[in-house]
Amino acid sequence: MAYEVTRRPGAFASGREGRHLLVGIAAALIALFASLGVVLWSSALWVSLLLLIVAVPLLKHARQRERAADRWGKGWRAEARVGAVIESLRPDGFVAMHDIVPHGRGNVDHLVRGPNGVFLIETKHRRYLDPDLGKVKRQAARLHDELGSWVTPAIALATRRRVPFKHAGVWVIDVDHLADWLRSQRGTPCDFERFARLADRL
């Protein structure tokens, strides 16, 4: 199935946020009904204890799901913000695929082809960890093999200001510097037909 050109940045993360919210709400509602049962059946000690045994872990699970939904929500909003900056560069000859999964091997937030090279951009809300650097480099290497062109790995920070710098071979840029950084790069553009064929194979 070919890449959907209408796919929005952050679609994967947005879907995960929604699933966590639904499961969390369901768990909280069941816990609420169990808690009401404790009140209604307070005269039957064993029933109250049984309902408490059900309610407490469900409330804990609901809270975990709420935190997970919050993380995914921050993630998709960050991806949407970075994606908007990338899309604003179309008049300068940049085209992008957002939220792609090349052959089921991990989500790529943004793959950008410009007149000055190809860039793989992983989005983070505020900070990144060392494993993120390795992930981005591996994905860029695999896409290099697919495209036959160098793919520059980068991490974009959506809510933290940092002057662009390199960390372990990966560029780290904040969203406010991203457009200027992309324009300033000096690389070899990837053949557009090859880039389009990659989209068809995804």
Q: Which structure tokens are listed for 49?
A: 């204890």
- Cβ(62)–Cβ(31) below 8 Å: yes
pLDDT in tens, 15-26: 666 676 676 676
Phi, psi of 108 (to 5 degrees): -110, 120
Say yes or no to pLDDT of 50 above 50.
yes
Full-model pTM: 0.74
Say yes or no to pLDDT of 2 above 50.
no
Tell how far CA 196 is from the center of its chain.
23
What is the predicted pLDDT for the residue at 16?
Answer: 63
Say yes or no to pLDDT of 135 above 90.
yes
Higher pLDDT, 194 or 65: 194
What is the predicted pLDDT for the residue at 162?
Answer: 80
What is the predicted pLDDT for the residue at 140?
Answer: 93
Say yes or no to pLDDT of 1 above 70.
no
